[in-house]
Structures are given as structure tokens and as C-alpha cells.
Structure 1
Amino acid sequence: MRKRKTFVLSLLLVLVIGLLSACGSSGEPANNGTDAAASDAASTAAAADANAAKETAAPVQEETKKEEPQEPVKVKVGVTGSDGETWPLLKKKAAERNIEIELVEFSDYTLPNLALANKEVDINSFQHLAFLSQFNIEHNLNIVPIGSTVVAPLGLYSEKYKKVEDIPEGAKIAIPNDPANQGRGLLVLQQAGLIKLKENVGLYGTPDDIVENTRKIEIVPVVAQQTPRVLKDVAGSIINGGIAGQAGLQLSDAIFHDDPQAESTRPYINVFATRAEDKDNETYRTIAKLYQEADVIETVKKDTNGASFVTDVPVEQLQSTLDQLIADIKAGAAK
């Protein structure tokens, strides 16, 4: 009996040891499996985060690349004067649109168009349509308008006399010597009652077209830029609005001037001009459009002492006027 109890106790002891061993062995694999799963999950999450970071970074880099400023477009503009506030303001406004304006100044009216034809400048701004039409014909060029700027009344100024009636017999009067402004200057003197020109003289009259000169006025042609400087030496001088403004003269100082709003002054609308092959260049046209903005208009008034009037004329109308002026010149030459 004692042996039997001893056997049973031994058997129970073996079973207990076996169960304890089983529990120990089954717990170890369970812990190892959990750690491996956790490790795999961490690796997967890290990979996902990395991919997400790459996907997020790509658009940011692409967006940054798009926002990087491009090289500014450089435009050389031929002018015959840049004093005052207008051109600095226009350059600033153009720079905001990534356009860098370089002004190239000329001392003579014949030079900016030749420089344009020779591609030394890209556009110019100094002339009206009457001047441009004559220049195109004389030099066999095809320079065209791409925007209007101002109409500048042509005035008769004097440091010696307050009224046209006071100008004495035999007095000297200076006028611009370029064909368009000379012709217009003679028309102003005719309107003022100082001379009379032959009928149908057109826009490009010369002193030879004077048929009546009862006061024996002596006409003195000079370079347009010199017309204010000779005032002290003559009884009067015909000076256009832009040059008068640069010389510190106001339109109210003129003893006579033509009407800037009259139909007859349309050929004297000043323009931005370029070569025909560049007439649709958006950068050039943008500069012309900027000239029509309110703050620029105010500076023009200030710079010219109110002697120039900014005017916004469609390019098609400017070209039509230019074409008609050219046709008229050719028709007159053929007679």
C-alpha cells in the first residue's frame, strides 16, 4: 500500500514538472512572436513615413522651382530726353512685371529711328506720326506705332513780347528744322496771323511755301532741342510741348499755340514705335500700356508743366493714320 502511494505521488510529481515545463516553453515562443510583430510593424510604419515625406516634399520642391524668378526681359528704349519723374516711374512699374528698361538717349531727332532700324534699341518714344511717316519714306523704313503717348501743343514763345501783335517788322522767329515740326510750326505762324502759306501746303511745308509775309518775318530753322535756348536771340520761337516742359516753360507761357484736341492735330500724336516685325511683341506693348496708367499720367502733367496731354488711341487707328500720311506724302511727291 505504501509502495502504491509512493508510485502515485511520484507520478503526480512527474506530471506537475511536465506541466511547468510546458508552460515555460509555450510562454517563450509567444513573447518572441510579439517582439517580431512589433518590429515588423515599426519597420512598415517607418517606410510609410518616409514615402509620405517624399510625396510631400516633391510638390513643395516643384512649387519652389516655379516661384523662382526668371531673368528679367531687357528692353532698350530710345528717347531724346528722360528728365523728370515719368521715366523713373515707368521703369519701376515695368520692373514689377519683370521687364528691365534701359534708356538710350539721343541728342538729335534723326537718331532714334536709325538706331531702331539698326537694332541698337528695341523701341523708341520721342516722335509723332507726322514725323514718323516722313522718316519712313525718306529712309525706306517700316517703323510702326505700338501705342500712343501724348499730344503736345506747338506753341510760339517769346521772352520779349507778350502778344503776337507786338512782334515787330523784320523780327526773327525760330522754328524746328525737321520736316514734320517745321511744317507744323509754319501752320502755327499762319494761324497766328504772321504769315500765309500757299493753298494745300499739307503737313510738310517749308519757308519756300510762304506766299504772304507782310511783316517780313525772318524764319530761322534750328534743331528742335535748341528752340528754347535761342529765345534770348529771337523775337519768338516755336517749341513743342515736351521740349517746352523740359525747359521749364508752361503752355500758358506761350503767346500762341494750336489746339491739342482738334482733328488737325491727330498727325501729331506721339507714339511708342518699333520695327514692323516686332509690332506684336507683348513685352513692348506692355510698356506702352503702362504709360496709360493714372500715376504715369500725373507725372507727365508735372514733367511738362501741363503742356502735354496723355492720349489713349487704339494701335489700329494709329497705324491707319500713319498709312494715310504716307499715302498723302507719296501722292504729293508724284504730282
Structure 2
Amino acid sequence: MGLKEDLVDFALTSGFAKVGVCRPDAIPDAAGRLATFVADERHGQMGWMAERMGWRGDPSALWPEARSVIMLAESYTPDVDPLDVLAQRDRAAISVYAQGRDYHDVVKKRLKVVGRWLIEQAPSAEIKVFVDTAPVMEKPLAQAAGLGWQGKHTNLLGRDLGNWVFLGAIFTTVELEPDAPEAEHCGSCTACLDICPTRAFPAPFQLDARRCISYLTIEHRGPVDMDLRAMMGNRIYGCDDCLAVCPWNKFAVAGRDARLAAREDLRAPSLADLATLDDAGFRARFSGSPIKRIGRDRFVRNVCYAIGNSGNPSLSQVLTPLMTDADPAVADAACWAMQRLTED
């Protein structure tokens, strides 16, 4: 076998579900789509998208010496239906990917293992590894490398993967034979568009992040717009609705890394318990979790919105001290939630 075939075999035995290769210049249309997205202000407060559009839209500009991009997918398919928790209104819905260990750490370590293997085989090779922490458009690159396609929900999905996947990239100076890009296979299905509680998809294959619950609970700073709060339900970190209903998940690959499996205390935690977290308690509870990066204030703000949507007046007791919280967004959310529970 050649170097590429050996590389694929090694990556698969290392825990990745699928591997593909493309050229750094394989996504010429991405820059235009990104520019339109930003021009329409659909990126919300994610200013880094506008600031680094040049690199993000043209991977060859990020590292001109790179000759190949190795795209790798790691599965984190849930073992229960993530939509079930939405009916438990006094419990918190946390996105599946955030219920286990921080995927940035897990996937990056595995990428480095593959990268070191490549350098051992080609000692003159240079590599750079990326996991959602650099201006790299992983999803278009993954489609160009044949891993899957960007569905109508704009996430990557594959006929043999489903859409519960993390993506990682290895840029390298080694010339590797590129794979054929994957075509789109969504057909007439609109399940992901129809289920979105905030109608965040202006059209198929388009997302307005300003209405996306994942964006609102993770990236958005300050109070959430009044007209969106009730639509958030009990989702306090991310949202899995559009992913969970994709019919291609019947072919989803089971996750292989136990570190990415859900922690029991994060499957459906009590809103009342989460609302009482101070900064130290928050950092202790979410050590090693991607949730830690949003900080206590934004997290408790989200919990307050969920309490306001719970319809459970008994939860009002945990809101009282938060109505005068030092963080204005938390205090605002607590007052809004208290009013909701009082009206109900």
C-alpha cells in the first residue's frame, strides 16, 4: 500500500470513524458564502468570523506551504434520544457533544498521534493540526475530502456517518492524492428545518446564527431578545434538535472513545441545582467540559431562561437571589423568569 492508504488505516485504528484528503484550495466557493453570511450580519456577535475571513475562506492562505489537508471525523453518537429531555421541563437540556470530555482536547490529541505517525513515515513533512480553534472551515473541507456533505441544517452529515461527528484537520506539506468530494443527498427532506424551535434557517442550507439556540446559549453575550427566550425551552447549552431528526442517523457510527460519553450528572441535571452555582462551583462542576468556557454568568443566565419556561412555580425560590445578581444579564433573566412563573 502507499502512504495515503497506510495513513487512512492508521487513523481508523486510532479511533477516527472516517478519513479523507483534499487540497487546500478545494473550497473556492466558501469565501463567497462566508462573505454573504457576514454581510447579512447572520454571524451575530462572532466578530472573529469577519476579522479572519481571508484565512477562513481560503485555507491555502492560512499556511501557503501546505499541499494537502487531511480531514478526520470522530463519532459521538448518543445512546439515548436527546429530544427526550425536552419534555422534562424542570431539567436542563445540554447538547450531546458537551455532556462528555471537551472534544477539543480529545480529538486534538488523537490528531497529533496521526500527525506524528505521518512525520515518521515522511521525515521531511511538516504538519499543523486544527480542531475548531483556528480560522479553518472544517465542514466545506470535509465535504471536499469526501467525508460527507453540509446538509440543509448546515452541519456535516454522511451516508455512513450520520451527523453526530467531530471534525479535525491536519494540514501538511506532504502531497497526498485527494479524494473525490461528496455530493449532497438531502433530497426533499426538510425535517431539520421544520423542527427548529426558533426558525433559525431562512432557507435550506442557510443559517441565521442570531436565532440559533446553540449560538444564543454559547456565543451570545448579554440578554437574549425577548421574543426568543420562550422558544429556548429548557435548552441551556446548545441545541440538538436539527441533528437528532436527520434520517441519515440510522447509519450513524457508534462513538468509540469513552471520554466523549455522557457524564451521568449532565444528561438531565436539575435546573434548581444549576441555578445555585457560584463561580467556584461552576468551575468545579464543569472542569474538563466545553461548558466551562462560557463562564458562570452566561450559564446561569441560560438556566434562568429555562426556569422561566418550566411552568413550575416551585422553582421561583432559586430565582429570588439571582434577581439582584451582580451580572446584569443574570439579574434580567431571573426577573423575566420570575414574571413568567408568576403569570403562569
TM-score range, shorter chain: under 0.3
Q: TM-score, normalised by structure 1?
A: 0.25
Name the one with the larger helix percent: 1
Q: TM-score, normalised by structure 2?
A: 0.24
